[in-house]
Amino acid sequence: MKTAGNPDCLFCKIASGEIPSESVYSDELVYAFKDIDPKAPVHILVIPKEHIVSAAEISPENSKVISRIFEVIAHLSKELGLDRGFRVVTNCGGEGGQTVYHLHFHLMAGRPMKWPPG
Ligand code: 5GP
Ligand code: ZN
């Protein structure tokens, strides 16, 4: 199993199980877990197990996991009954609001979402 790539990375440690989390999905490429500080009734983080810093670092060499991540999101949306809708967000870089520098997609649902986001 491909896990940690960066020994100082919080989400690498979560993906490998070194730091505990509330798991909702795991396969050889992808891990999904509940956000520790939820901003919606459903707030899940979906991450590649491989260390990718952000959306700015997606390339032909590492992008296979991105399609898997969206397959997982579709699977979770059905499993969790998110038929009223949901939002998928990835924050990238400082002005994008990224605080953890391991690529992650926020899957949020359970309340009406505003547009545009702040
Ligand atoms: P960002 O701000 O980088 O887009 O999102 C980082 C997210 O990670 C935040 O929503 C934050 O609540 C979540 N987070 C930070 N540390 C932890 C942690 O140790 N465990 C879990 N489950 N979520 C975390
Ligand atoms: Zn990482």
> Ligand 1 centroid vs 74 CA: distance in angstroms?
21
Give pLDDT tens digits along the chain (118 positions). Answer: 444 478 899 999 999 999 999 999 999 999 999 999 999 999 999 999 999 999 999 999 999 999 999 999 999 999 999 999 999 999 999 999 999 999 999 999 999 999 999 8
Q: Is 43 touching ligand 1 by the criterion CB < 6 Å?
A: no
Q: In the prediction, which pLDDT does 2 show?
A: 44
> Ligand 2 centroid vs 53 CA: distance in angstroms?
7
In DSSP terms, 42 is beta-bridged to 109
Left if phi > 0, otherwise alpha if psi is -120 to 50, otherwise beta: which for 97? left
Q: Which residues are CB-contacts of 61 (< 8 A; sequence separation ≥ 6)?
A: none
Q: 0.85 exceeded by the pTM?
A: yes
Ligand 1: which atom is nearest the Cα of residue 19? 19
